[in-house]
């Protein structure tokens, strides 16, 4: 550190920053020891050596600004909480909760659910760390979008390593942030190595900040070992973002003392290299500067280190003395509390009968119009609701489901996005965590795997990993299924993929009434919802109540009552199953058809009641048979209702081949009413 630097702070502030750097160093050294003693389990990625970046950056942000962090996130979490702590008692509590979380204790910030790689202090504006490299970058971008939409004036700091700058998340996010002038400061902590591969073998240029040029983003490189340089660089970046000039990309060149994790022998680094960087250690260098400039004495410097050492010892005693989470609390925090009451369920039953009769109190609409009504009404009802996705604005969406909404609500609430599925999903996740209620459209369900990290690893898990202290109310509308001869990349039924992940609901409506009521419920729910429409249902007409209504999740609908066999299905196959039931009625066979409507949560009560009545079950799906959701239903029935069965559960599905393009092949691939009827006959 340059001894000629002039401090831009008083003695108290300077000593506080020194204390924060010492706190991170002592904390990380203690974590290293506890890992060696097996008192901290799992992986832990230490921040020692990089303290100047976190402390310098946090020292220039405001109380309501936000951050997102990375798997090497202890330093960010500590520094953000230290800035917010009002006294020594709160400082100590902060140490305690951090170390308790790493030890997997119930007194930790996330009640032991997240641990080291997912450390979060949500209540102080830390939206959390992620174990997925680059996984937090779209989340920060979404949080920035929320700040702009709400007009808060807040800024989001997004910390990530040099390795994350090579991911698609980085490029998709920076592009969106630049397009929308979002108040996000992206801070690359370039410590020269990913896990072991040096940056010279992983990136085209040493200066990662130059990548900002591609998106027209202001950018700079700063010495990440110099606290004052970081402080000044981040201040400029934050001022730029806060003033409405858009995002800023800052590369802090720094070095980690330890390896990627404790088991890393650092064979890829030389002793000379490590010695060279340790000579630039920000803690002794800043201490020396304070003494040389007469700001503090060496005794005062030493006293700070001793005080921090004692605080970390107290935190260790607290953490190791805290209880582990009780086994019976395993399932806590997976989902936000269920909002719908028994009164809602009863009212929906009444409305179901109303629309079947039609007439007064209802109107007729097709499936597409029902979706439009739901989105329009929820946007009118709640200003936090907004839509985003590819071609959903002026074009109205690939299947016209958002047609007219752009003209009514404008481009600020109906956002056309670049083709960036991962970015779209992650931005929605971050915006939801920051107080908005986004709905994103992923054009085809076949494209949702491109967004899997953001939806399955961030949106679906964040509430659980952060101890129930956050909600992620994001709705993902997409469409699937065959019928238009557009082949295997645009015709799949991938709902089983999404039912596999805890923390996300999966909805598949078959009628206009169901589509509107379930989508309105999705907007009002505090959990991520995967809302899958079928491309061949958009023109289906039906009655819809005139009144405002929702359909509670986890409530199946018996679309047709019967006594001989139960057909369990959803989406387009409801209609084909009803056709099969009509065919069999002519043969004297009474078929009950259950429309699940929501796959998660699943209404096993309605299934059980029907199985106990008929004793025979056929499950129908348009998906591939291997690991289909109907296979899950069959397993549940076998486990829970075996004694009521008079025959094996039969599955009717598509073939185990990619969906073909040729109409003759597509028709034989997807179950028809005749195929369903034949399956039913086999178990009579």
d(CA 645, CA 673): 24
* DSSP class of 529: E
Query: Is the predicted pLDDT of residue 4 greater than 80, yes or no?
Result: no
State the CB neighbour count (10 A cutoff) for residue 195: 13
Least confident of 177-181, 258-262, 467-471, 498-502: 258-262
489 belongs to the catalytic site: no
Confidence of residue 202 (pLDDT cuts 50, 70, 90): low
pLDDT of residue 43: 86
Q: Give alpha helix (H) positions in 440-544.
A: 452, 462-465, 495-499, 512-524
Ordered DSSP codes for 636-662: HHHHHHGGG-SSPPEEE---SSPPPSS
Indicate if the pLDDT at residue 429 is higher than 80: yes
Percent of the chain with pLDDT over 90: 91
**To which H or E segment does residue 145 belong?**
helix 136-150
pLDDT of residue 1: 59
Would you say residue 361 has pLDDT above 70?
yes
Encode pLDDT of 547-576 as tens digits: 999 999 999 999 999 999 999 999 999 999
- pLDDT surpassing 70 at residue 294: yes
Per-residue pLDDT for 2 more than 60?
no
Whether 333 shows a pLDDT value over 90: the answer reads yes
* CA-based nearest residue to 544, from 339, 343, 387, 377: 377
- Over its C-alpha atoms, the chain yields an Rg (Å, rounded) of 28
Q: pLDDT at position 194, please?
A: 82
pLDDT tens, residue by residue, 123-174: 889 999 999 999 999 999 999 999 999 999 999 999 999 999 999 999 999 9
- Kindly state the DSSP code that residue 364 receives in the 8-state scheme: E
pLDDT digits (tens, 9 = 90+) for 379-421: 999 999 999 999 999 999 999 999 999 999 999 999 999 999 9
- How is residue 210 written in tokens? 């130059």
Mean pLDDT of 449-475: 95
pLDDT digits (tens, 9 = 90+) for 588-604: 999 999 999 999 999 99
pLDDT tens readout for residues 101-124: 999 999 999 999 998 889 888 888
Delineate the domains of the chain, giving CATH numbers in brackets. Answer: 11-320 (3.40.50.970), 342-545 (3.40.50.970), 557-682 (3.40.50.920)
- The pLDDT assigned to 506 comes to 98
Please report the pLDDT score of residue 684 as a whole number. Answer: 92
pLDDT in tens, 13-71: 999 999 999 999 999 999 999 999 999 998 889 999 999 999 999 999 999 999 999 99
Nearest to 78 by CA among 63, 62, 98: 98
- Specify the DSSP element, H or E, that contains 91: helix 88-102
Query: What whole-number distance in Å separates Cα of residue 432 and Cα of residue 128?
Result: 14
H runs (alpha helix) in 471-596: 495-499, 512-524, 572-585
Question: What is d(CA 142, CA 426) in angstroms, rounded to the nearest whole number?
Answer: 7
- Residue pair 61/153 in contact (Cβ under 8 Å)? The answer is no
Angle at 617 between CA 616 and CA 621, to 5 degrees: 165
How many residues belong to the chain?
Answer: 684
Note the pLDDT tens digit of each residue in 120-136: 888 889 999 999 999 99
User: Would you call 165 exposed, middle or buried from its count of C-beta atoms within 10 A (0-12, 13-18, 19+)?
Assistant: buried
* pLDDT (0 to 100) of residue 591: 98
pLDDT band at 5 (very low <50, low <70, confident <90, very high): low
- Per-residue pLDDT band for 290 (boundaries 50, 70, 90) equals very high
> Across the chain, what does the average pLDDT equal?
94
Q: Is the pLDDT of residue 3 over 70?
A: no
- Do residues 208 and 187 make contact, with C-beta atoms less than 8 angstroms apart? no
Determine which one of 94, 118, 240, 490 is catalytic.
Answer: 490
Phi-psi map region of 627: left, alpha, beta (phi>0 left; psi -120 to 50 alpha) = left
Task: Give the pLDDT band of residue 339 (cuts 50, 70, 90).
Answer: confident
């Amino acid at each position: 550190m340059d001894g000629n630097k002039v401090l831009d702070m008083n003695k108290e502030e300077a000593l506080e920053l020194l204390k924060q750097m010492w706190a991170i160093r002592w904390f990380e050294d203690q974590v290293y020891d506890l890992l060696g003693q097996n008192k901290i389990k799992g992986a832990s990625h230490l921040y020692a050596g990089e303290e100047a970046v976190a402390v310098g950056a946090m020292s220039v942000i405001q109380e309501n600004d936000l951050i997102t962090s990375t798997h090497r996130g202890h330093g960010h979490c500590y520094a953000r909480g230290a800035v917010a702590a009002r006294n020594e008692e709160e400082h100590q509590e902060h140490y305690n909760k951090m170390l308790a979380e790493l030890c997997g204790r119930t007194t930790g910030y996330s009640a032991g659910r997240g641990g080291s790689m997912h450390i979060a202090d949500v209540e102080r504006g830390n939206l959390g760390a992620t174990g997925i490299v680059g996984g937090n970058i779209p989340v920060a971008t979404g949080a920035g979008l929320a700040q702009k939409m709400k007009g808060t004036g807040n800024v989001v700091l997004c910390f990530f390593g040099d390795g994350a700058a090579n991911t698609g998340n980085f490029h998709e996010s920076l592009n969106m942030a630049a397009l929308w002038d979002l108040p996000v400061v992206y801070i690359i902590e370039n410590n020269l190595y990913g896990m072991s591969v040096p940056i010279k073998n992983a990136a085209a240029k040493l200066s990662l900040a130059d990548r900002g040029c591609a998106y027209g983003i202001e950018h700079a490189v700063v010495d990440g070992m110099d606290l004052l340089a970081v402080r000044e660089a981040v201040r400029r970046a934050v001022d730029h973002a806060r003033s409405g000039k858009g995002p800023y990309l800052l590369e802090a060149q720094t070095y980690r003392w330890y390896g990627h994790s404790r088991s890393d022998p650092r064979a890829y680094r030389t002793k000379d290299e490590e010695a060279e960087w340790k000579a630039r250690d920000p803690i002794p260098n800043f201490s020396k500067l304070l003494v040389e400039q007469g700001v503090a004495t060496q005794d005062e410097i030493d006293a700070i280190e001793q005080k921090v050492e004692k605080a970390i010892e107290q935190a260790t005693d607290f953490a190791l003395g805290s209880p582990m989470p009780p086994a019976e609390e395993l399932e806590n925090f997976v989902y936000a509390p269920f909002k719908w009451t028994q009164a809602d369920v009863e009212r929906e039953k009444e409305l179901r009968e109303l629309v079947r009769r039609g007439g007064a109190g209802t109107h007729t609409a097709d499936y597409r119009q029902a979706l439009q009504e739901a989105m329009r009404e929820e946007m009118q009802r709640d200003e936090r609701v907004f839509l985003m996705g590819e071609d959903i604005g002026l074009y109205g969406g690939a299947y016209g489901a958002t047609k007219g909404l752009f003209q009514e609500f404008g481009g600020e609430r109906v956002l056309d996005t670049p083709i960036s599925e991962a970015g779209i999903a992650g931005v929605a996740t971050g915006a939801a965590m920051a107080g908005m209620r986004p709905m994103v459209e992923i054009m085809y369900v076949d494209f949702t795997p491109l967004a899997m990290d953001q939806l399955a690893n961030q949106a679906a898990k964040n509430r659980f990993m952060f101890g129930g202290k956050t909600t992620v109310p994001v709705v993902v509308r997409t469409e699937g299924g065959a019928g238009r001869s557009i082949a295997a990349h645009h015709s799949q039924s991938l709902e089983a993929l999404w039912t596999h992940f805890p923390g996300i609901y999966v909805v598949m409506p078959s009628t206009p009434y169901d589509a509107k009521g379930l989508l309105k419920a999705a907007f009002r729910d505090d959990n991520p919802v995967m809302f899958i429409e079928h491309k061949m249902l958009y023109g289906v007409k039906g009655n819809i109540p005139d009144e405002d209504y929702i359909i509670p999740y986890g409530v199946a609908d018996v679309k047709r009552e019967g006594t001989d066999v139960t057909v369990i299905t959803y989406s387009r196959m409801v209609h084909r199953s009803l056709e099969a039931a009509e065919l069999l009625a002519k043969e004297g066979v009474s078929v009950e058809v259950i429309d699940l409507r929501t796959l998660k949560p699943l209404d096993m009560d309605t299934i059980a009641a029907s199985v106990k009545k008929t004793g025979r079950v056929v499950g129908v799906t348009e998906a591939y048979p291997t690991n289909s959701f109907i296979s899950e239903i069959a397993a549940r029935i076998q486990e829970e209702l075996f004694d009521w069965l008079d025959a094996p559960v039969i599955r009717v599905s598509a073939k185990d081949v990619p969906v073909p393009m040729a109409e003759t092949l597509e028709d034989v691939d997807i179950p028809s009413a005749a195929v369903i009827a034949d399956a039913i006959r086999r178990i009579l």
